[in-house]
Chain A
Amino acid sequence: MKNKDIRMQAKGLNVSYGDKQALFDVNLEIAKNKVTALIGPSGCGKSTFLRCLNRMNDVVDSCKIDGIVQLDGFNIYKKKVDVVLLRQKIGMVFQKPNPFPKSIYENVAYGPKIHGLTNSREELDKLVKKSLNRAGLWEEVKDRLEDPGTSLSGGQQQRLCIARAIAVTPEVILMDEPCSALDPIATKIIEELIDDLKKKFTIVIITHSMQQAARVSDYTAFFHLGKIIESGETKQMFSNPRLKRTQDYIAGKFG
């Protein structure tokens, strides 16, 4: 990968919770405007790695992080880094849809409001509309923006969460199993959305579905027991993995 194509990069990342080490010397490059999938059996450290990318692990008292994570060549674990600004640049979508118990409008407006991104109500209205549009939800909710976000269906809620995340115009969006709580149709809609979003954003997605990884991602990293076993282009990895263990996992022989 050429340097200018790399948006984020982890170098020698070691993470532990208390005495228990969860990641061992993880190195990974995340390509700009591409989708990178993280796969691997449960408990192998995918979420831990993802949460290191926007310093969400800072809130976990017992979590110790050692190593370098760069965003555009800049180490985000440097002392002076403004975590608030960082998390504006690197958004996150969670496994279970978690809209705030506020209106649909307020959910999307949450980020812009706390970061003071807009100067007037009209601007904010526009931004909310744009974000909902981009998350493919506008048509479904434009007449009920004042309804609570929790009144939507699961798939709509997840798209609302995506709209909420992109409302602050991040550069990277991290998704931790965004479809695991959704039915196949809602999943398909989100997958198409991801395909569309990568034009503008860099996306890292955790998934337990090999089909999903194959469908949506350009690059894949296979985690096992806290280490990256193999990483590379998705096509190559799924058709012709270098290691036996990768092949076995993709074929569903363990995990």
Chain B
Amino acid sequence: MARFDKIIKGYFFLCAAFSVLITVLIVFSVLFESVRFFNIVPVWDFLFGTQWSPQTAMRADQAGSSGSFGAVPLFMGTVLITFIAMCIAAPVGLFSAIYLSEYAPKKTVNSIKPILEMLAGVPTVVYGYFAVITFSPFLRGVGDFFGLSIASESAMVTGIVMGIMIIPYVMSLSNDAMNAVPQSLKDASTGMGATRSETVRLVVIPAALPGIISAMLLGISRGIGETMIVVMAAGLAAKLTANPFEAVTTVTVQIVTLLVGDQEFDSAKTLAAFALGLTLFFFTLVLNVAALFISRKYREQYD
């Protein structure tokens, strides 16, 4: 038996080691290609340049025949869209979580929660479809009515639809955080004569705050990495703007466009995708680690 246990243990270890190894390999390959890219384009120009036009020049006399790789417009586009998305997802997700954990009768919870969680399983391509076919024309119609010109691929449309996609994540995670607040604390508050909303405001939310913050961070990280919706609904033009009604492009969109079609694997254009990927990886990693750190610290509080 002991021998069998050892074999099983070894097998489990191999599985775990395999996935860790693959992750490390991916990171290193991205890192390696990025270093090659930074040999052609200085890191500084990439991180702080405001001109993004990776197309290789048609004619030799064209300016910047090797294209220009200032990624700031992409970062800004990602930030703008994610910001709009969180403006939708944070309040809606948080309030529905509060409703589900503190106000809704059990029956409602049992029927609503699966539906909301199903929303998290909808493929993002469907959201993208929804954005392009339904929501964008609708928003443009509304804009026209008020005399506002909205681009058909505006950051607004993309952000709102992405926000809808993120709602279930934020909701589900903050709901977990609030359910983890011990009933005894809520009882203590109720027993003091606090109303339900006072209990939520003064006891439940403060106690669940670390969990709620980490839910928000994970939501943001989900938004930054989201690809399909933005590929379908956001633009391609790398314009540096803070106007949500104009078209912007994002890091993920550019990675896709850089790599779709015929590729030479050592052109700056192709390698740029790895540099973008590395940046993206770095930011989502920071966000996820921060979320993990915060929620772990908080878990110790009740043990």
Contact = CB atoms under 8 A, between A and B. Distances in A.
Contact of B187 (A56, A86, A115): A56
Interface string A24-60: 0000000000000000000000000000001010010
Question: SS class of chain A's interface: helix, strand, loop or mixed?
Answer: helix
Interface string A114-127: 11000000000000
A85 B193 contact: yes
Contacts, number: 64
A110 to B, nearest CB: 6
Interface stretch (B47-55, B77-85, B195-203): B195-203
A87 B185 contact: no
Contacts of A83: 193
Nearest to A89: B193
Contact of B191 (A56, A96, A115, A150): A56
Interface size class of B (residues with CB under 8 A): 20 to 34
A40 to B, nearest CB: 22
B187 A165 contact: no
A165 to B, nearest CB: 7
Contact of B193 (A59, A84, A98, A99): A84
Contact of B188 (A54, A86, A94): A94
B133 to A, nearest CB: 43
Contacts of A87: 190-193
Contacts of B301: 101, 150
A56, A86, A101 — most chain B CB neighbours (10 Å):
A101
A168 B188 contact: no
Given A61-B105, A61-B106, A110-B202, A96 B193 contact: no
Nearest to B207: A101
A217 interface: no
B192 A91 contact: yes
B184 interface: yes
B194 A114 contact: yes
Interface of A: 54, 56, 59, 61, 83-88, 91-92, 94, 96, 98-102, 110-111, 114-115, 150, 161, 164-165, 168
B193 A100 contact: no
B185 A168 contact: no
B270 to A, nearest CB: 52
B298 to A, nearest CB: 10
Contacts of B203: 100
A205 to B, nearest CB: 15
Nearest to A112: B192
Contacts of B184: 94, 96, 98
B182 interface: yes
Interface string B209-244: 000000000000000000000000000000000000
B202 A92 contact: no
Contacts of A92: 187, 191
Given A98-B184, A164-B188, 20 more contacts: A54-B191, A56-B187, A56-B190, A83-B193, A87-B191, A87-B193, A94-B187, A96-B184, A98-B182, A98-B187, A100-B188, A100-B207, A101-B185, A101-B206, A101-B301, A102-B206, A110-B192, A110-B194, A114-B192, A165-B191
A111 B192 contact: yes
A165 B195 CA distance: 16
For A96, A111, A114, A164, the residue with the greatest tally of chain B CB atoms inside 10 Å of its CB is A114
A59 B182 contact: no
A98 B106 contact: no
